[in-house]
Each structure stands twice: as structure tokens, then as C-alpha cells.
Amino acid sequence: MATQEFDLFVIGAGSGGVRAARMAAQRGARVAVADDAPLGGTCVNLGCIPKKLYSFAAHYAESFEESHGFGWSGPAPVLDWSVLKANRAREISRLNAVYAKLLDGAGVQVLRGRARVLGPNAVEVDGTRYGAQRIVVATGGRPVMPDVPGAELAITSNEIFDLASFPRHLLVVGGGYIACEFASIFRGLGAQVTQLYRGEQVLRGFDDEVRHFLAGEMRKKGIDLRTGADVLRIERDAGRLRATLRDGSSVTADQVLYATGRVPNTAGLGLSEIGVELAANGAVRVDEHYRTAVPSIHALGDVIDRVHLTPVALGEAMALVDDLFGDGRRVMDYTLIPTTVFTHPSVGTVGLSEREARQRFGALRIFRSEFMALRHTLSGSTERTLMKLVVDAATDRVVGLHMVGADAGEIVQGFAVAMKAGATKAVFDATLGIHPTAAEEFVTMREPVMA
């Protein structure tokens, strides 16, 4: 028999789960949220936040070198890895407490333990049974390790933030945004970095021109980026790790980071046993209302394997709560989702790649600008910036906007609003730029480079 009854029981206290719990409680529902990990999920503890903090840290050595061109001099700064780790941990603890306060303030009961679904209206947490009119699964995802001999010697993004000692040489395996970000971060922090990707180019799914441009810039920063390369096995070698590649060559490093994908975190939840349908990779199958094959059970966020972004999980949570406890008008729109890759330089993008746009619209006009940012005319850096607009020729609407360069995310966020409003190239042309900025290039590109 259940010890307590809830209107909504949320499994997983990450971004989506916390948002769903808070919003439902604020609408008068009796809500519980269960998690056996620190509050905030991957984003707060092992993803977005610590990664961005380390990205900030990684820029300082480069900024010091660039400062010489502006008249600054002095001894080069030295990274204290232990201080960076401790300061990051303190900030994450602060955020954990903020999440706890938000949930408590909304009247959500937080259960610290691992949950398992027992039936359409029952959940067990560490041996205690709870009743629930509705259940939401928001357990996110986890890194997956490949079936490679010696893979147990490698680490994932979960462990990278707290390495006992700073790796002099880091081998990164993977070509997605997580792999590229950590390659950039640790190169910026001072490590020698080798990155291996078995595909033809990194950042599959992004605009092809962006992919090639970024790869070139990463190599200029000193990253040994090798495409068409794959690991055959990993072995210990005199206190270090040696990765033997399929072409017979090898790379010896202090640490090997595998960033080759993530899978939905559904193992052990008891979902398939009660009729919830799962995809081959463990993702929970849901309809447009985030409802599973069991009508009282819903799922959202990375566990449904749609778009793996924190703001998307937040949007899905708000749409679900509005559907369950509101008027049902809120709908999550998956078009024109802006995103950033925190590489060095960073990538910002919203809308369609050129390839996707050609498949959908046919005739296009492509606008492109590549330049050295004003800062680097004195800094001595060879870093360059790329900006690109993809325009539907029939309607003049801007359907893709892409940038590789400093603060790309900050710049693209504002343009995402314009694109969401349906801005045309004529509207871009009629908008005055802020001078001198890199962002003004988006409103000063007049001649298409191709159609």
C-alpha cells in the first residue's frame, strides 16, 4: 500500500524534471520528485555549467598572449588545476542548493533515492511505495563507451572535470560537440590534445561549411585533429595509455576521453515491464503530448531522444504541465532551435544548414563573410570568423544563420528572435549594424556568394 499519494510524481531532478515539478506544484498539484544524484541533473553537475566554466578558464592563457599586442607585459600565468576544480565544485554546490530551495518554495516533496515504476500509478523509492495519478520520466541520458578492448581504462565526460592531476596529453575520441568542446578546453588549459574521429568531418549534422571552417580553426589552435581515424584497442604503457589505431599507428597519452555518444537513462526503471514502449537505444517512445503507451506515464527531455538541449527539456516540461494542469495551449516548437558549441572559437547556429535548406526549398541565396575580428588586428592571433546566411529565394526569408567566432552564442541568440518572427533578408538589410562589432556583418552582407 502506498504511503503517500501524489497528483504528479517526477522521476529525475534535472532541468526538465525540476521545471515540470515546480510548474505543476505552482498550479496546485501535489508533486514529488525523486533522484539519487545531485539536484540539477547533467546540465548543472556534469554538463553545461561546469563545461562553460572550464571554457572560460581555458581562454585566459590565450588572452594573456594576445594582450602583448595591446601593450601588456609580465610573467605568464600558471594554471592551478586544483583551484579550478575546487572553485567549480563550490559553484555547483551552490546551484544544487538553489534547486533545492526552488523545489521547496514551490511545495514539491523531494525524495533522495533511486525510483522504479511499479505500475501505471505506483512508484517505489528505496523500498517505499508511492501512489501517483501521473508519472513523468525525466531521467536524461548517460555517456556510452564503445566495445573496444581496454575501454575501461578511458574516461567519459562525467569524470573529466575531476581528474586527480591535469593531463599533459589528452586523447579525445569522438567528433560531436562534446568531443570538440573538451578538445578545445583542454588545449586552452595547456594540454597537448589529439582528437580522433572516424567520420570524414567533425560536427555531423551542422552546416558543412561551418564544420570545415571550425576544424581548420581548431587545428590552428594546436589540436591534432585527425578524421577517418578509429581506435582498435587501449593498453597501459609505463604509467600512461597507448591507443592503437586501426591503421596500425598509435597515440600515447595521459588520459583517453571517449565522447562518442549518449544513451537514454532508462535501465532499471521498470518501464518496459509495465508496457511503456522503448526504442532500441532505450529511449522512451511518446506522442505529441509526451504520453507513453501507458496513458498515465509521460516522459520528456533527453530520455525521449529528440533534441538534447536543456532549453528544449524546459520547453517540453512547460508544455506537458500546461497540458495536464492548464488549458493545453502551450506547444513545444522544435523548429528554429538556436544552439552553440563552446569550442575555441565557438559555433552558433539557428535554422537549417545549406544542405537541409536545398532539400526543403530548392532555390537558395547564400551570403557569406569571413574576416579577422578587429581585436586580432593587434592581438597577433590568426583566428578568423565565419558568418553565413541561408535564404529561401522564393520568399526571401532567412532560414539558416551560422557563425564560427568569438561569442557566437551571444550573437546568434538575438538573431534567433528575428528568425522566429519570420525575418526576411530585406529586413536584415534594413537593420542598422552596431559598429564596430562582429555581429554587424549579419546585417551588412549584400551580395550572395552563390544561388
- Where does the pLDDT of residue 12 fall: very low under 50, low under 70, confident under 90, or very high at 90 and above? very high
CATH top-level class for 4-142+263-325?
alpha beta
Summarised one tens digit per residue, pLDDT across range 152-173 is: 999 999 999 999 999 999 999 9
How many other CB atoms sit within 10 Å of the CB of residue 311?
13
Q: Please state, in angstroms and rounded to a whole number, the distance separating the CA atoms of residues 327 and 63.
A: 51
Crossing angle (nearest 10°) for helices 354-361 and 208-220: 180
Give the pLDDT score at 141: 97
Summarised one tens digit per residue, pLDDT across range 260-305 is: 999 999 999 999 999 999 999 999 999 999 999 999 999 999 999 9
Q: Which residues fall within 8 angstroms of residue 213, CB to CB, at 6 or more apart?
A: 370, 386, 404
Q: Which residues fall within 8 angstroms of residue 434, CB to CB, at 6 or more apart?
A: 440
Q: Percent of the chain scored above 90 by pLDDT?
A: 98
Give the pLDDT score at 3: 78
User: Which candidate in 68, 344, 402, 435 is catalytic?
Assistant: 435
CATH T-level assignment (fold) for domain 339-443: Enolase-like; domain 1 (3.30.390)
- Where does the pLDDT of residue 2 fall: very low under 50, low under 70, confident under 90, or very high at 90 and above? low
- CATH of region 151-260: 3.50.50.60
Summarised one tens digit per residue, pLDDT across range 385-407 is: 999 999 999 999 999 999 999 99
Give the pLDDT score at 130: 98
435 as an active site residue: the answer is yes
- pLDDT at residue 439 greater than cutoff 80: yes
Give the pLDDT score at 1: 56
Summarised one tens digit per residue, pLDDT across range 333-362 is: 999 999 999 999 999 999 999 999 999 999
Give the pLDDT score at 6: 98
Q: Residue range 378-387: average pLDDT?
A: 98
Burial of 146-155, coded b for 16+ CB within 10 Å and e otherwise, reads eebebeebbb
Average pLDDT, the chain: 97
- Where does the pLDDT of residue 199 fall: very low under 50, low under 70, confident under 90, or very high at 90 and above? very high
CA separation (Å) from 316 to 20, 110, 257, 301, 302? 9, 21, 31, 7, 11
- pLDDT at residue 451 greater than cutoff 70: no
* Domain boundaries, given as residue ranges, for the chain: 4-142+263-325, 151-260, 339-443
Question: DSSP labels for 52-115?
Answer: HHHHHHHHHHHHHHHHGGGT--SPPP---HHHHHHHHHHHHHHHHHHHHHHHHHHTPEEEES-E
Summarised one tens digit per residue, pLDDT across range 56-98 is: 999 999 999 999 999 999 998 999 999 999 999 999 999 999 9
Q: Do the two domains 4-142+263-325 and 151-260 of this chain adopt the same fold?
A: yes
Q: Nearest CA to 245 among 260, 236, 257, 235?
A: 235
